[in-house]
Structure 1
Amino acid sequence: MDEPRHRIRALYTASTVTVYQAYGPQIGVLAAREGAFPGAWKRDRMTWIKPSFLWMMYRCGWGAKAGQETVLAVEITRDGFEWALRHSCLSHYVPGLHADRETWQREVRRAPARVQWDPERDLHLRALPHRSLQLGLSGEATRSYADEWIVSINDVTPLAHEIHALVKARDLDSATRLLPQERPYPSEEDLLAHLGG
């Protein structure tokens, strides 16, 4: 069965969902050790969270890109994640979904969260036909993420390196077995209708 073009796929439990971010060690290592972001983490900047492990690997180059050497799996509450989705808008204008460009621009200025649908990736980090969610948090959403939604923060850089080594060794079966078990996220229609999902 073909994948729908827009669908959230994530590692989740009854109450939490795991998202990924990558930082330099001065933030990433401390965040994993303390289970919270350190003072150097900027609360006044937009922060992007990604439920797709492989999209994160594409973005951070398997933890090899400068400033993204520490890959974090951040477990957050599903309540918080879904609040952000309900209070988000698309990061780009879509005719038919938005009444007009001005209406969309007003939404962007007002919304505490933004959504981008970027091509999902395979183990070789090649683009797939279906899309993966990137969720940008700002203002109220960033503060809630840092102070209320986080359940745990784990450094998964060793996992990223292990999977990458298996891919380079062409052992794709073993690499696949190590991937986080992401499943279609159960979302009610109102959760994604305004996001083209």
Structure 2
Amino acid sequence: MSELNPYEQLGVTENASFEEIQIAKQNLQAKYQNDSQVLDNIEIAYDIIIMQRLRLRQEGKIKVPEQIRFPEKIKTIEPKKSIAISNPISPKISLWFNDLLDQPSLKNISISGVVFLVLIFVSIFSANVSILPLLLTVGVGTSFFVLYQKQKQFWRSIGITFIAFVIGVCVANILLSILIGSGFNVSLESEKFASLFTFCLLWLVSNFIR
């Protein structure tokens, strides 16, 4: 079939109308719908005929209906648009933050907030400093429980809680040293100040980290 000229492939004459050409193409496609090679030849023959008709139209020799689909209209290259140079790292960072951050409900914030407020109150006003390790243990356990309830990932919840605890204690001690060195009068003992800061950090992490 591919050795014939385009008109012969479609089974029409060179004087055939566009409607006849299209009908012939559709009939052949229905007949050879399971033969991809023949279908490709039919499509190529149709495009060649339409391109020839288009050239004749441009030369003013024939008139072509506007509804006819021309191959060059499909292949028309659209004007280039300015492409903004973007940093490929930014989308990755954005996705990382979206996966890491969480938007907790008011109920969850309130429940964990009450627990940590009680821990802060007891740690500040307790005369016995030796109770602070126990209070910190309760705070760490609360933070782990809140994190674990979100995605049920045991080791991830432990890791995030442990990191938050270590950062809280270290940053609290550094911050206290800076405040004292700057001449600020800090009324809390170092242990209580570290507990207060750590409780706040654990509350933030447990609620706003997935």
TM-score of the two chains, using structure 2 as the length reference: 0.20
More strand by share: 1
Pick the structure with more helix per residue: 2
Structure of greater Rg: 2
Provide TM-score, normalisation by structure 1.
0.21
